Chain A
Amino acid sequence: MDYDLGAQAEGLRLRLRQLVEERLPEGFLGAFTDDPEDLAITQRFCKLLAAEGLLAKAWPTEYGGGGSSVWEQTVVREEMWAHHEPRGPQYMGINWVGPAIMRFGTPEQQAQHLPAIAAGDVIWCQGFSEPDAGSDLASLATRAAPDPAGGWRITGQKVWTSYALMAQWCIVAARTAVKAVKHEGITMFLVPMESPGITVRPIPNLLGPHHLNELFLDDVSVGPDDVLGQVDEGWSVIREALKFERIGIARYARCDRLLTLVRQALGERWGDVPEALRARWTRARVHTRAAMVLAYRVVDAQAKGIVNDADASVARVAATLCDQEVAEVLLEALAAQAVDDGHTRHHVLHGAVEDHWRYAQAATVASGTIEIQRMLVARAALAGETR
């Protein structure tokens, strides 16, 4: 038994921290702000990572990746998330859109899309949720009808679509057939966001700019070659995508960084923090470690090709609850300074704690609610299929 990530992975970690230190402005909180320069920073950072072969580190070399181990990719995920995701919205393309195209795409789709993702040239968004299809995603009603002239015409409404105003492409789930089983008859489409008929409306929200949008598709034309996977069999793509997404964000890494930084930032005032709260901070440190080793178990299973829904869900429940616990502990520790977007006179860590708290509110909602995760865990436990 050995939990050592190895010299190569640790070397990678040091290099990433060096890049973060040198190339990101102090107090960088990610691309999802009202300042367009923040998006530009992430685009430059992605190019930088791509130039060093770090952006798609774990992708196979034939797809423009570095062919490295999943553990090195884990290090990339940890360092990027811990430092407020300087890849911006591109992490999604790397983490699951790319792998889904590798798994289900045609050679032409792979040739078109994968090098662009690996080079840091493109932002993808995800058109899954709809006003009447959230956790019950298979109830989605966006329709794709065959176009007599060839291809498909898509009409419907998507919602909660993160980065939709930034993205060049969207992976859209649409119904192509009405079948007795609602999971059947769904097809995935790769849709350029500049297509006529697409409208994006940002939704002002607690999480911050760009996190939530509405996406309207009004008779949007897509070609026959823009179907990902088989027609009517998009559910298997979605399932695969959600599996990748469940371990895609190393939430524990940002928790760990902020727990450590806030204590340092408070300096001697740490002793004035109520003891009960310091005890909660202490336990949060332990919970963060537990969330990390649970995530490692899933990564290990993924590397061996034996990852299952329940294990991924166990790790996700632990990580998302930890995220919210840490958010609450840190916000309390800052007391009156907690109200801070980074531009106030008395800011601490440039508003990182408030930013974390706001985004953490969605941790148990986004990418499959905690209720869905609990159902998956319970189903496996009751069937005697958990470890």
Chain B
Amino acid sequence: MNLELPETAIDFGASAEGAFTDAGGVDLARRAEGQPGIRTEVVTPVLEQLGALDLQVADDLDTALAAGELCRVAGRCALPYPVMAVLASGARNQPPAALVDPVLPRADHGDLFPRWRLAAIDGAVWDGRPEGRPLGTELGPFVVDMAVTAVDPEPVDVPMLLTLSAWQTLGALERALELAVEHVTTRHQFGGPLSRFQAVQFQIADATVAVQSLRELAHFTLWRLWTAPLDRLVDALALRTYALESAHGVLRICHQLHGAIGFCDEHDLSILSRHVQPLLRLSAGLEATTEQLMATIDHTGFDSLFDTGATARAAQQR
């Protein structure tokens, strides 16, 4: 057993977070709403300099963990860029890959690339292109309607996309919780900080449990993608389900504890909360993901102490 992230992944995540912070942090997302060009003019060069766009997630576990850390720190500042889609593309000159709802294919930051590879949860893949400009809505400032142009015979690594989306969600939740802790310890009401009230403390505790659980499950799942190749989809769907549940719980708590200031765009919580929504909604929300997970468990099992996953079953049969 070795539960520690490799130093290379930790260092890469720390460098990326430093670079994103130096470039403006959450303010990048805030400014990009009015100046969408920031995404290519500011964010792309930062990612290039980090070598982030050259990470080959399919190479080995350590590289994938570095990619996970990159997605996590991108989530921490609502980085206005489809990092996950580029990482999952498979190679630098390949179009980015996104999971979509085939009924209404949409991609976050879909306008940044002329060609995309759009995948459904069942593994079907299409070539796609952006259709028009970002929607510019509160909850989808950079969501773009996509046009499907042709069936693409090359597979997309759907489990990797699901897993990286959970790591990015983790980053957003981590930061939202940090903001909530900061708020309740500095905001004084009734003659003292909000944090002295047990009703507040318990919510902080629940959010802390949720974030730590999601982190452990995210680490475990990425390891499983490498070690249990026949269970990749079921493991990734389980993580995605957990990430969505955690997001609903943690963001609700963080908004509640912030009061009205948390709804204001001058506060980072509002930006984080709005910009993470495409991540939580676009391909499938919590209930739809649970249904997909349920069907996949029916098909492959769900490896655990008392259930045998497909990889373990295949090993037993050999």
**Interface size classification for chain A:** 35 or more
Which residues of chain B are within 8 angstroms of A292 by Cβ–Cβ distance? 304-305
Q: How far is the CA of A48 from the CA of B239 in the complex (A)?
A: 40
Q: Does any Cβ of B come within 8 Å of A84's Cβ?
A: no
Contact B241–A382 (Cβ < 8 Å)? no
Question: Given A3-B1, A387-B212, does the pair A378, B201 have CB atoms closer than 8 Å?
Answer: yes
Q: Does any Cβ of B come within 8 Å of A265's Cβ?
A: no
**Closest B-chain residue to A281, C-beta based?**
B294
Which residues of chain B are within 8 angstroms of A282 by Cβ–Cβ distance? 241, 290, 293-294, 297
Q: How far is the CA of A3 from the CA of B205 in the complex (A)?
A: 27
Contact B223–A3 (Cβ < 8 Å)? yes
Q: Does any Cβ of A come within 8 Å of B142's Cβ?
A: no
Q: Beta-carbon contacts of B208-236 to A below 8 Å, as 1s and 0s?
A: 11001111110110011001000000000
Q: Does any Cβ of B come within 8 Å of A148's Cβ?
A: no
Q: How far is the CA of A311 from the CA of B297 in the complex (A)?
A: 31
Name the residue in B195, B213, B302 with the highest tally of chain A Cβ atoms < 10 Å from its Cβ: B213
B156 to chain A, nearest CB (A): 23
B286 to chain A, nearest CB (A): 9
Find residues 37-69 in chain B having any chain A CB closer than 8 Å to their own CB. Answer: 61, 65
Which residues of chain A are within 8 angstroms of B6 by Cβ–Cβ distance? 1
Which residues of chain A are within 8 angstroms of B219 by Cβ–Cβ distance? 1, 293
Q: Does any Cβ of B come within 8 Å of A6's Cβ?
A: yes
Question: Given A283-B245, A294-B212, A318-B209, does the pair A256, B307 have CB atoms closer than 8 Å?
Answer: yes
Q: Does any Cβ of B come within 8 Å of A2's Cβ?
A: yes
Which residues of chain B are within 8 angstroms of A317 by Cβ–Cβ distance? 205-206, 209
Find residues 291-347 in chain A having any chain B CB closer than 8 Å to their own CB. Answer: 291-294, 296-297, 300, 311, 314, 317-318
Q: Does any Cβ of B come within 8 Å of A4's Cβ?
A: yes
Question: Given A257-B306, A285-B302, A378-B201, does the pair A4, B181 have CB atoms closer than 8 Å?
Answer: no
Contact of A286 among B204, B242, B291 (CB under 8 A): B242
Which residues of chain B are within 8 angstroms of A386 by Cβ–Cβ distance? 208, 212
Which residues of chain B are within 8 angstroms of A373 by Cβ–Cβ distance? 205
Interface size on B, residues (CB 8 A): 47
Contact A378–B204 (Cβ < 8 Å)? yes
**Closest A-chain residue to B242, C-beta based?**
A286
Which residues of chain B are within 8 angstroms of A253 by Cβ–Cβ distance? 305-306
Contact of B3 among A1, A279, A291 (CB under 8 A): A1
Q: Does any Cβ of A come within 8 Å of B316's Cβ?
A: no
**Closest A-chain residue to B216, C-beta based?**
A293
Contact A314–B209 (Cβ < 8 Å)? yes
Q: Does any Cβ of B come within 8 Å of A243's Cβ?
A: no
Find residues 2-27 in chain B having any chain A CB closer than 8 Å to their own CB. Answer: 2-6
Find residues 1-42 in chain A having any chain B CB closer than 8 Å to their own CB. Answer: 1-6
Q: Does any Cβ of B come within 8 Å of A384's Cβ?
A: yes
Which residues of chain B are within 8 angstroms of A104 by Cβ–Cβ distance? none
Q: How far is the CA of A371 from the CA of B217 in the complex (A)?
A: 24
Contact B205–A377 (Cβ < 8 Å)? yes
Q: Does any Cβ of A come within 8 Å of B317's Cβ?
A: no
B216 to chain A, nearest CB (A): 4
Q: How far is the CA of A346 from the CA of B316 in the complex (A)?
A: 35
Q: How far is the CA of A260 from the CA of B198 in the complex (A)?
A: 38
Contact A278–B294 (Cβ < 8 Å)? yes
Q: How far is the CA of A144 from the CA of B84 in the complex (A)?
A: 64
Q: Does any Cβ of B come within 8 Å of A261's Cβ?
A: yes
Which residues of chain A are within 8 angstroms of B280 by Cβ–Cβ distance? none
Q: Beta-carbon contacts of B283-308 to A below 8 Å, as 1s and 0s?
A: 00001001101100100001011110
Contact of B1 among A261, A288, A296 (CB under 8 A): A296
Q: How far is the CA of A333 from the CA of B242 in the complex (A)?
A: 22
Contact B201–A375 (Cβ < 8 Å)? yes
Q: How far is the CA of A78 from the CA of B304 in the complex (A)?
A: 12
Q: Does any Cβ of B come within 8 Å of A350's Cβ?
A: no
Q: Does any Cβ of B come within 8 Å of A289's Cβ?
A: yes
Question: Given A294-B212, A377-B208, does the pair A283, B3 have CB atoms closer than 8 Å?
Answer: no
Contact of B290 among A257, A261, A283, A378 (CB under 8 A): A283
Q: How far is the CA of A379 from the CA of B201 in the complex (A)?
A: 8
Contact A2–B304 (Cβ < 8 Å)? no
Q: Does any Cβ of B come within 8 Å of A374's Cβ?
A: yes
Q: Does any Cβ of B come within 8 Å of A381's Cβ?
A: yes
Contact B307–A293 (Cβ < 8 Å)? no
Contact of B2 among A2, A78, A279, A286 (CB under 8 A): A2
Contact of B212 among A300, A314, A371, A375 (CB under 8 A): A314
Q: Does any Cβ of B come within 8 Å of A82's Cβ?
A: yes
Q: How far is the CA of A350 from the CA of B241 in the complex (A)?
A: 32
Contact A314–B1 (Cβ < 8 Å)? no
Which residues of chain A are within 8 angstroms of B238 by Cβ–Cβ distance? 285-286, 289
Which residues of chain A are within 8 angstroms of B214 by Cβ–Cβ distance? 290
Q: Beta-carbon contacts of B159-203 to A below 8 Å, as 1s and 0s?
A: 000000000000000000100010011000000000100100110
Q: How far is the CA of A310 from the CA of B114 in the complex (A)?
A: 48
Q: Does any Cβ of B come within 8 Å of A244's Cβ?
A: no
**Closest B-chain residue to A310, C-beta based?**
B208
Contact of B291 among A1, A279, A318 (CB under 8 A): A279
Q: How far is the CA of A379 from the CA of B287 in the complex (A)?
A: 34
Contact B202–A290 (Cβ < 8 Å)? no
Contact A290–B242 (Cβ < 8 Å)? yes
Binding site for B on A (CB under 8 A): 1-6, 71, 78, 82, 253, 256-257, 260-261, 278-279, 282-283, 285-294, 296-297, 300, 311, 314, 317-318, 371, 373-375, 377-382, 384, 386-387
What are some 22 contacts across the A-B interface (CB < 8 A)?
A1-B65, A1-B219, A3-B3, A3-B224, A82-B306, A256-B307, A261-B306, A289-B217, A290-B213, A314-B213, A373-B205, A374-B202, A375-B198, A375-B201, A378-B201, A378-B205, A381-B177, A381-B208, A382-B181, A382-B184, A382-B201, A384-B181
Binding site for A on B (CB under 8 A): 1-6, 61, 65, 177, 181, 184-185, 195, 198, 201-202, 204-206, 208-209, 212-217, 219-220, 223-224, 227, 238, 241-242, 245, 287, 290-291, 293-294, 297, 302, 304-307
What 3 A-B pairs come out closest when comparing CB atoms?
A378-B201, A374-B205, A377-B205
With A289-B220, A296-B3 known, 9 other A-B pairs at CB within 8 A are A2-B1, A2-B223, A286-B241, A290-B214, A291-B213, A374-B202, A377-B204, A382-B185, A387-B212
